[in-house]
Amino acid sequence: MDNVNQSSEMNDSYEYIYDGLIVQCHLEKYDHISGICFIAICCFSFLGNGLLVYALARYEDLKRVTMLFLLYLAVFDLLFTMTLPFWAVDHLIEWIFGDFMCKVLTGAYFVGLYGSLMLLTAMTVDCFFFIVVRSQWFTWRRRLYCAKAAFVGSALISFGASMKEVLNSTVETEHSVRLCRSLSSDDDHVGYYTQFAMLFVLPLVIISLCYGKILHTIMSSSGRRRYKTVLVVFLIILAFVVCWGPYHVVLIVKPQKPIANCRLDQIFIACRILAYFHCCVNPLLFLIRARSRKILSTLLCCKPQHRSTEPSDRSSDPSYFNNHQRASIAIPQNVTELKSI
């Protein structure tokens, strides 16, 4: 699978050789642009996600399941962001960090990427059960346990999925430049497509089906209210698809091209920058909530503020309603329960 270390294909000038024909693509300036963009994305992401983690831990009630999911998502984004300065150096100069760090950072890259998507899938499934299914078994406490299990499971599955890339990653010298790259073969393409289908396409299918039912349930309710938190989750998922979708499409198209295509390489570079920018988006989407904007104002102005006193999931969990309420209410109807999502 092609990974972040595409600099092996993007030296100051690199060659494709087909039947004695040499075609050169001069992408030196694009390589430098990528490195500079990685540094800028890293700075914005560390600032945004750092503030998000602090705000969630300091001011929000982490017994609210969605707040806990957002905290875990920020952790995955920070893990992914941690690798960007190293890839920036790789593009601007060369790989100077050794073979061991090449493997470690490749693993961190994939854990952050796949972990985020699996956690988004878990968030969507949680919303689906809370809003649509509303099972008596799915209590607040069980929701909390499931959220923690989803975080651990996402990390473990992502780590396992990244092992092949980690083992194949090595430092090679091309045109007197050291590069961290993942060695690939024809068989690797089959493995990549399988991994792509299981860890990208399948979660997006699950997300689409669940959110379709969630939106249908909300819109078909006579007493429907605006779910700000559900909207935030939906926009976070949409942002992931918009940012990472083009990147994966180009990765699939590139191996199908039998000849050098400089335009496609330039498109790939642009899609990769867009994909990496995703780690800066979630903190911005979190500001849709009025309370989040108030917290940001508090942080910027250094004003004291107590942790959220809004009712937690315990007070509004479906399991605390009586049977008559559960039978007569298709989705949460009161403001207290809306806030518990």
Q: Where are the alpha helices (DSSP H) in 169-261?
A: 186-196, 202-220, 228-253
Residues in CB range of 129: below 8 A, 6 or more apart: 135, 138, 143
Q: What are phi and psi of 182, to 5 degrees?
A: -105, 120
pTM of the model: 0.78
Where would I find the beta strands (DSSP E) of 78-232? 169-174, 177-182
H helix or E strand, kind and range, residue 78: helix 65-92
pLDDT in tens, the chain (341 residues): 444 444 444 444 444 433 333 344 556 777 889 999 999 999 999 999 998 898 888 888 888 888 899 999 999 999 999 999 999 999 888 899 989 999 999 999 999 988 988 998 998 899 888 888 887 887 888 889 999 999 999 999 999 988 888 988 888 887 778 888 877 655 566 667 777 788 788 888 998 898 888 888 877 765 545 566 677 778 888 888 899 888 888 888 876 665 556 788 888 899 999 999 999 988 888 777 777 777 777 777 766 555 554 444 444 444 433 333 333 334 444 434 444 55
Where would I find the beta strands (DSSP E) of the chain? 14-18, 21-25, 169-174, 177-182
Q: Under DSSP, is residue 340 helix (H, G, I), strand (E, B) or coil?
A: coil
Residues in CB range of 3: below 8 A, 6 or more apart: 106, 109, 110, 165, 169, 182
Residues in CB range of 209: below 8 A, 6 or more apart: none
CA angle centred on 128, ends 328 and 115, rounded to 5°: 160
